[in-house]
């Protein structure tokens, strides 16, 4: 089964980690505005960013997104 990426679960992972958006932005070396954009869906998280975020938040990359099952994947 294939999956499509849905909305961001970054806000939930930050809450689980007890980390503020500002602290996360500092640790990721990005702006708080970018983090806010990721959470709101106005920005797209690159795979590289997601890997580093998962490391900092002690979660899996797939924990950062809502995964939507897809019957087929065009490619």
Q: Which pLDDT belongs to residue 74?
A: 63
Q: Which pLDDT belongs to residue 35?
A: 98
- For the record, the structure tokens of 27 come out as 């640790």
Homologous superfamily of 2-70: lambda repressor-like DNA-binding domains (1.10.260.40)
Q: Which pLDDT belongs to residue 17?
A: 98
**10 and 19 in contact (C-beta within 8 Å)?**
no
Of 49, 70, 46, 62, the closest CA to residue 13 belongs to: 62
3 in helix, strand or coil?
A: strand
Q: pLDDT tens digits, the chain, 75 residues: what are they? A: 799 999 999 999 999 999 999 999 999 999 999 999 999 999 999 999 999 999 999 999 999 999 999 876 565
């Amino acid at each position: 089964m294939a999956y499509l990426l849905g909305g961001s679960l970054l806000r939930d992972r930050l809450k689980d980690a007890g980390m503020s958006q500002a602290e996360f932005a500092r640790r990721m070396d990005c702006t708080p505005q970018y983090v806010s954009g990721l959470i709101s869906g106005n920005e797209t998280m690159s795979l590289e960013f997601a890997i580093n975020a998962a490391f900092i938040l002690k979660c899996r990359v797939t924990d950062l997104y809502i995964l939507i099952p897809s019957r087929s994947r065009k490619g």
